[in-house]
Structure 1
Amino acid sequence: MAELLLHLTEGPLWEAARGIGTFEMSTRGRTLHEEGFIHCSLPHQLAGVAEMLYGTGSGAGNGAGSGDAELVVLVIDPDRLTAPVRYEPAAPGGEEFPHICGPVPVDAVVEVRPWPRKGDGPA
């Protein structure tokens, strides 16, 4: 089995995707169709991504501007995807991040983990 991919998103967006059968949000405020792929992380990359997008580093919760939406981590099995996964750097010569080049079928999400709010757990 390939390494599991992680995607941080707002809980209501995931719930909406479950209703239609596919998840198509690329990153905070941008869809797959706008971005061209869905941003993902490997486990060691997730805290940095959370800090950058939501101001929530290592499980610190909802950052400024994220409203009251609960954040969740989608755990994605790449073997269940129908779209290819490309690993590309965020900046030239930088660390590579996984990008899913199409919608994520809800059955490719094998676990949904809560992302703690500030003060809910260890940093």
Structure 2
Amino acid sequence: MIYHVVPLAEWNAGRGRPYAPDSLTRDGFVHCSPDEETTLAVVNAFYRGAPRPLVALLLDEDRLTARCVWEAAEPAPPPGVAGGTLFPHVFGPVDRAAVQRVLEVRWDDEGRATGLF
């Protein structure tokens, strides 16, 4: 499974079509993470101010019709993620059938993501 972070309202907005976040147009791919620990580091680095609830989509890479390529973070991985960690990038919309679970981000009292449930 690979992970993609999105505000729940954004995920729910296009139920009848494949999911295509702004990053697909802006960066040419959908940003994903390889595991829960890396996903939480990404949330803490880039999504602390995102609308809540914030969820992580668990994607079955084998069920994606778009190409998925594992690449190094540019220019560097977020704090708390080891250098050399590869991130899955999906080069097309995410098929809703590839989403196996939707987990909500859990936050502590200081606004840091601490887990997925």
Q: State the one-letter code of the partner of 2:33.
A: S
Cα displacement string for residues 52-76 of structure 1 (whole angstroms, at most 9, x for unaligned residues)? 112xxxxxxxx2x324x31001000
TM-score (norm 1): 0.74
- 2:34 and 2:86 in contact (8 A); partners too: no
> What secondary structure does 1:83 align onto?
coil
**2: distance between equivalents of 1:96 and 1:17?**
29
TM-score (norm 2): 0.78
Are 2:34 and 1:42 aligned? yes
Q: Superposed, which structure 2 residues align to 1:57-96 within 5 Å?
A: 63=48, 65-67=49-51, 69-91=52-74, 94-96=84-86
Aligned to 1:21: 17
The gaps in structure 1 that reach 5 residues or longer are: 55-62
The count of aligned residue pairs is 104
Q: CA deviation at 1:47?
A: 1.4
Q: CA deviation at 1:13?
A: 0.8
Q: CA deviation at 1:17?
A: 2.7
Q: Superposed, which structure 2 residues align to 1:89-108 within 5 Å?
A: 89-91=72-74, 94-108=84-98
- 1:72 and 1:115 in contact (8 A); partners too: yes
Aligned to 2:2: 5
> What secondary structure does 1:22 align onto?
coil
Aligned Cα RMSD in Å?
2.2
**2: distance between equivalents of 1:109 and 1:73?**
10
Percent of matched pairs sharing the same residue = 35
